[in-house]
Amino acid sequence: MFSNYRNKRTRLYAITVITLLSILYLFNQRADPLSFDSGRLEEYMNNGKHRKYTDISSFDWRGAPVQNTPQSFATIPTGKPLALPRIQYDFVAEKKPERVKRDKRQLAVRHAFQRAWNSYKKSAWMRDELKPISNEGKDTFGGWAATLVDALDTLWIMGLKEEFNEAVAAVATIDFGKTSSTTISVFETTIRYLGGLISAYDLSHEKVLLEKAVQVGEMLYRAFDTPNRMPIDRLDVEKAKLGEGFTADSHISIAGIGSLTMEFVRLAQLTGDAKYYDAVARVTDLLDRAQNTTKLPGMFPIWMNAYDQDLSYDSSFTLGAMADSVFEYFPKTFALLGGLEPVYKKLYENSMDMVDKHMLFRPMVPGREDILISGNVRAESANNTELDPEGQHLTCFVGGMFALGGRLFENKHHVDIGAKLAKGCIYTYKALPTGIMPEIFLMLPCASREACPWEQKKWEAEVIKRTHPVYLDDVNRAVKTERLPVGFTAIRDRKYILRPEAIESVFVLYRTTGQKEYQEAAWDMFTAVMNATSTAFANAAILDVSVIDEYPMQDDSMESFWLAETLKYFYLVFSPPDLISLDEFVLNTEAHPFRRPK
């Protein structure tokens, strides 16, 4: 109904209609089955008036039939949450010069967010994304205003309450009953839309956000409507309305099936509806049963057969694309459930044992820095593995995962691994001329993690191996033409698409160790990213981080995670440590904080 707020007249019209609908709602108010915590309700009202909205969606997903209804539902663990170990460092009061410097940096990040947000609001309002060069909108994730929903909690966290209230009013008009796409990604819709709505509700307690989260959750619940209750990768929205059911995919990524846990668990906690927990608990049960049946027992491969519930056929393993968030969710879901479901601890510890043994490598670099990179593995068995020393920007989240898991499960070795992985990403940022790491690159693994002297000839031979026969044996020409920093043996993808994973780990390592060096690294990363990505309107992906130009080659794209994740993590690393404390919240893979139970 309100698809575009491009001018004052349209905005005034929208506000008038919303006001009239609110008045009608007050006259026809019915008992609400969703309960509130009165203390947090008073907190979120913040001396303001409790706004009322009514849902004008064209379809109520709660009424969509389900073909494959479970005979019984797994119940969410009950009881008082365990007293879990402290995750955050015990910070002391900062001195005034430190606070002044931190405040200035935090303000710079906030300004970058406001600039991009204002451009989105002016030129792409209610569209999924802003095109930051042409300054217009586009739809990429169902046409439900992905950037708006994804950025809700960032608005709240940054104290932009007027903008937040306006965004909530706009969210109330989103019609999740229809879409601009034939099919939607279940994974992306879960982490961006469902996660964004739940998080914004957890922070503000605006009731309409939970109502919308229920609608999105009900729609996504239909993805589990298969005979074996395994979710499908892409949901046909119109077919889902008919309730005829689907067939589980015979080929689906492990992330696509296993990264829905946090969102559905939190929705079950907020609504008291066991079916949401049951949906993901069945996937967790499968992972638990199958963990030692894979070609690298303990670790999960990239691809699986959900139809046959088979994880034994794929020999490719990674913490990068198509797999990443399933591992991240193990310790986070454990915390979200208050430690009352131990299977997530088992899944984390067993898989990370294999990652530590087979996947992490120390790269050979001239300064002999003691850093780690997460690579890929081909495995036919635990005794027949081959490391592919490919680093991905995506895998930079792993440092934060190890640090958080190490603190949560009191494993100092994992905290140390997390620090070395985070510093590995910091190193690869600094190594490129733009100060930003590439999307995908290769380095030369050391024979040992304990000692790794620099060997120039060995590095040169590896460069020739990766580039032959294009440059024959001319290593100097290969290094120059391929623009390889010393220590890098190839760059497979030179883009930077405004990704958050490196700053995510830097943020977690700062909050878990208290070491100021991570704040300094964060500032270097922020300034480098802003220098390369800034456009006349917002920030754009760049095509080549290995080239310094006055006007870098930019792509007309600004994914919603720039506002939802990247700038949020930059902001939080320069915030007081009690803002979104890791002892009070767990953040999903789209950086949406969910409140931990007490």
Residue 324 is among the residues annotated as catalytic for this protein: yes
Angle at 424 between CA 587 and CA 323, to 5 degrees: 50
Whose CA is closest to 530, among 494, 157, 522? Answer: 522
Report the DSSP beta bridge partners of residue 137. 130
Cβ atoms of 245 and 225 within 8 Å: the answer is yes
Residue 437's φ and ψ, nearest 5 degrees, are -75, 155
Contacts of 534 (CB under 8 A, 6+ apart): none
Q: Which residue of the set 129, 324, 328, 544 is catalytic?
A: 324
Catalytic residue among 55, 211, 501, 544: 501
CB of 582 closer than 8 Å to CB of 87: yes
CA 335 – CA 388 distance, rounded (Å): 32
Contacts of 416 (CB under 8 A, 6+ apart): 406
Name the catalytic one among 136, 139, 188, 233.
188
How many Cβ atoms from other residues are within 10 Å of residue 465's Cβ?
Answer: 11
Cis peptide before 469 (omega within 30 of 0): yes
98 is catalytic: no
Catalytic option among 55, 166, 439, 504: 439
Residue 342: C-alpha distances to residues 51, 77, 544 (Å): 40, 10, 44
Q: What is the DSSP string of 146-215?
A: HHHHHTHHHHHHTT-HHHHHHHHHHHTT--TT--SSSEEEHHHIIIIIIHHHHHHHHHH--HHHHHHHHH
Packing angle of the helix pair 195-204, 261-271 (nearest 10 deg): 40
Please, what's the b/e burial string for 406-445 (b: 16 or more CB within 10 A of its CB; e: otherwise)? bbbbebeebbebbbbbbbbbbbbbebbebbbbbbbbbbbb
Q: Establish whether 218 is a catalytic residue.
A: no
- Looking up tokens 């026969």 gives 469
Q: Positive or negative CA dihedral for 311, 313, 316, 322?
A: negative
What is the biggest distance separating any 2 CA atoms in the chain, rounded to whole angstroms? 81
Residue 276 is encoded by which pair of tokens? 């949401």
- CA–CA dist 532, 545 (Å, integer): 9
Nearest-angstrom CA–CA distance, 192 and 592: 8
Which residues face 253 on adjacent strands?
303
Structure tokens belonging to residue 352:
């990370």
Q: Which two tokens stand for residue 217?
A: 């959750």
CA atoms within 13 A on the CB side of 206: 30
166 is catalytic: no
Q: Which positions are catalytic?
A: 188, 324, 439, 501
